[in-house]
Amino acid sequence: MAREGGPFILAAAGLSALLFWAWTPLGWVSLLLPAFVVNFFRNPARRLPPGPPGQVVSPADGKIVVAGPDPVSGRVRVSIFMNVLNVHLNRIPVDGTVTGITYFPGAFLNASFDKASEQNERNRVEIRTKGGEQVIMVQVAGLIARRILCYAEAGDTLSAGTIFGLIRFGSRVDLDLPVGTTLSVRLGETVKGGETVLGILPK
């Protein structure tokens, strides 16, 4: 389980216990709430797949809603939408050093909308790989998500697949990858954080 889940699980379980005491049939129905919270904060084991240097692994569980080059910059964009049933822990996509973290306050639009990447509350994490490539990852809050957590700090050197953050409840993660990155995923594909290979950085 994600460490932040404890208070939410206890609160949900306490509410169910209270409802059981007040009216047993309602108590049985209320068990759906702690079950949902436990499911949301789950932290399943993930195994980083073997691969060549420059391999990019998914930073989140969810569905690919953007995949391809930006028409202006030419850099490659990948966006992953996480619904409330997905694992919401976020992982580092490449081996590298965190060079900067910037938080942007904003709105809480549906995270599946493209404009959410520019208008919603978000947290930008910049990573420099050993090869000198810049990878930018943005945690984007959603319609229900009201809290972005980031454990990483500037100067941290982290391995791909390392858990670095969490977004509560339902959200999006955007990746901005160097020009020439070769993608191995497509629109609509379902991916797993720390396991699915999204592509390979240019050599």
Query: In terms of DSSP H, where are the helices of 23-161?
Result: 24-30, 32-40, 116-119
Reported as type and span, the H/E element at residue 29 is: helix 24-30
Residues near 131 by Cβ (< 8 Å), separated by ≥ 6?
53, 54, 201, 203
Which two three-digit tokens encode residue 135?
């990878």
N- to C-terminal Cα distance for the chain? Answer: 37
> Which active-site residues does the annotation give?
171
Reported as type and span, the H/E element at residue 26 is: helix 24-30
Q: Are strands 96-104 and 197-200 parallel, antiparallel or unpaired?
A: unpaired
The CA distance from 62 to 193, in Å, is 8
The CA distance from 152 to 14, in Å, is 32
